Amino acid sequence: MTRTTNSSLTNALRILKSFSIDHQELTLSEIAELVGVSKSTACRLIQTLESEGFIYQNILFNTYRLGSSVLALSNTVIDQLAILKETTYFLKQLTQQTGESSHMSILENTDVIYLKKEDSQHQVQLLSHIGRRNPAHCTAAGQAILAFLKQEMIENLFESDLIQSTKYSIESLPQLQQRLKTVREQGYSISQGEFLEHIVSIGAPIYNKKNQVFAAISVAGPKNRMVPNLQKIVDNVLLTSNNITKYVQAHEKDVDIETFIK
């Protein structure tokens, strides 16, 4: 019974995670295929999620989308991370200074999750919308956080081969460890074409009251604009990360990185 219950819970959570900005509505068949279960199992799980307000059915098109209960939970998370309420000003200023999009991210397992974003005036494909997960080892934000984790934690997180997003991606644990050593020494990270070949991103860590890294900010844009202004952008990213850290340490409660890594 416990095994069945755990399996059902896992599949129900996978259904919720199947939705994204790019896939806001899904059919029953699409959900079943994405989760890897039969249509009858998917239908049963969806009915349960629907009864609790986590899934809403669009009867007109016979599709499903996330319900209001998900919004309530997301608001609770934002309240727990009170820093989010105060980072908008910093990120807007950073975007104005650099002319590129800026982000606030946290680490969850081997992914970074984008919690805040300020878009630049340019139309650029970044794949970094709010709530998006990207492989941490491929992104500047991810590397800026990973660099300050304990060595054994890095080894536990990356036991298997690393995902290759592009030909420039870090492909092994020793290579990642060497990169993180560089990030620790210089205090910031640069990802050049490691997640999207045409994109360069620069990240810097955010510290809590215990001087532990728990989040990162980053700026990302196309190579042709980022590379000629690299040092100026690095300076602005570091200044902004320092200002956010000062604010967090002066006003907010402690937020530990272990909260997000399982």
Residues 123 and 239 in one domain: yes
Residues 149 and 255 in one domain: yes
| CA-only gyration radius of the chain, Å | 20
The SS3 assignment for 137 reads helix
Per-residue pLDDT reduced to its tens digit, 186-202? 999 999 999 999 999 99
Q: What amino acid occupies position 31?
A: I
Per-residue pLDDT reduced to its tens digit, 24-36? 899 999 999 999 9
Residue 219: CB atoms within 10 Å: 29
pLDDT for the residue numbered 163: 86
Domain closes at, from 71, 95, 128? 71
With respect to residue 76, please indicate whether it lies within any of the assigned structural domains. no
Assess whether pLDDT exceeds 60 at residue 67.
Answer: yes
What's the CA gap between 245 and 249, in Å, rounded? 6
Residues 143 and 223 in one domain: yes
pLDDT for the residue numbered 68: 77
Residue 227: domain span: 81-259
Residues 38 and 96 in one domain: no
Residues 32 and 116 in one domain: no
Output the six-digit token pair for 140: 């500047």
H-helix or E-strand containing 55? strand 55-58
Residues 126 and 61 in one domain: no
Residues 130 and 193 in one domain: yes
pLDDT for the residue numbered 81: 62
Number of domains in the chain: 2
CB 193 within 8 A of CB 67: no
CATH number at residue 225: 3.30.450.40
Burial class of residue 243 (count of CB atoms within 10 Å of its CB; 0-12, 13-18, 19+): middle
Output the six-digit token pair for 208: 């809590």
Assess whether pLDDT exceeds 90 at residue 37.
Answer: yes
